[in-house]
Amino acid sequence: MRRYVTTLLLLAALLPTAVRADEPADAKPLCPLFTAVEFEVGGSELIDTYLAPWSYKGWSLAVGAEWMRAMPIEEYRWVWQQQLRVNFARTRLRISGSGLTDAGSLHYAFAMMRYSELPVKGLRLYYGADMTLTAGALYNYHGGNNPVSVKADLSWGLTAMAVYDFKLGHLPVTARYQLSLPVVGVFVQPEYAESYYEVSLGNYENFLHAGTWATRFDMTNRLTIDFRFASWALRVGYGNTIYTTYTAGNRYQWVSHHFVVGFAGDLLRWSAGNKDRRVCRALYTL
């Protein structure tokens, strides 16, 4: 089991290698790469009036990964975080259970956060800004010239998380709640009944929209608990995402509630000098 978990974490660690700093091996503290792989299952509700004026409800899945690392700013009080998540939902008309709409998206976020220790032992507050990129589509199986509603947005916003390290008996446990709240950005959405055929002819007017809380509201809530066994942790939790746009006569909303399970841990670079170096972890403290 442990071998599989380690393999998973190593694979997940391959993606952000470009972000690793080229540190002189003996001078700086060791900053392990915190890595998590998550699997989610739950339910989704969605509506996109471009496709149909009714709401749909069904099951949804997600697979995600997360990376965090301490940064050499302010005595390593800053961390960067990357999240990558693929979401899929299969839904039917809420009112009758008929019809069929699938939704899928790829979500990437890069955040930089500073943390402060709060007066409660083990409790820290991280706060900072993030950039998110989401791309996806809804597909309604009714056919016709408007079966697809494409979703793409780039946004900048705020993110914060509260992390509480404590022990359950002898077992170190880390509870975390993170909120991500895009504030400004851009997103695409055709007008009320504008066809993608017309867009393909070159009519991009009113296709690209400024994203503010007047036109869209996205949010991600994640509450996770990591039960830490030696070098890895079992993660369980709850994830909630909400994507919303209100513009051009159309309303789109996708809300998902997921049970989260995954594995997490700090990945260290193994070298002879590691044991003598100070370690600055991004998340775990105990």
Q: Which stretch binds another protein (CB under 8 A): 95-103, 130-138, 167-175, 261-269?
A: 95-103
Q: What is the DSSP letter of 21?
A: -
Q: How far is CA 193 from each of CA 69, 138, 178, 234, 282, rounded to the nearest angstrom?
A: 45, 16, 37, 47, 47
Phi, psi of 66 (to 5 degrees): -140, 140
* Distance separating alpha carbons of residues 49 and 63, to the nearest angstrom: 27
SS3 51: coil
Reported residue count of the chain is 286
Q: How far is CA 38 from each of CA 181, 261, 281, rounded to the nearest angstrom?
A: 21, 6, 20
| Contact map string, positions 103 to 142, toward another protein, x by CB under 8 A | ---------------xxx--x-x--------------x-x
Q: Which stretch binds another protein (CB under 8 A): 10-18, 59-67, 191-199, 259-267?
A: 191-199
Q: Which stretch binds another protein (CB under 8 A): 30-38, 64-72, 192-200, 224-232?
A: 192-200
Nearest distance, CB of residue 195 and another protein, angstroms: 5
Element (DSSP H or E) covering residue 235: strand 232-247
Nearest distance, CB of residue 100 and another protein, angstroms: 9
* Distance separating alpha carbons of residues 280 and 198, to the nearest angstrom: 54
Q: Does 148 bind another protein (CB under 8 A)?
A: no
Q: Does 273 bind another protein (CB under 8 A)?
A: no
By the criterion CB under 8 A, which residues form the site for another protein? 45, 47, 51-55, 93-96, 98-99, 118-120, 123, 125, 140, 142-147, 162, 177, 179, 181, 191-195, 197-198, 201-203, 205-206, 217, 219, 221, 223, 240, 242, 248-249, 251, 253, 255
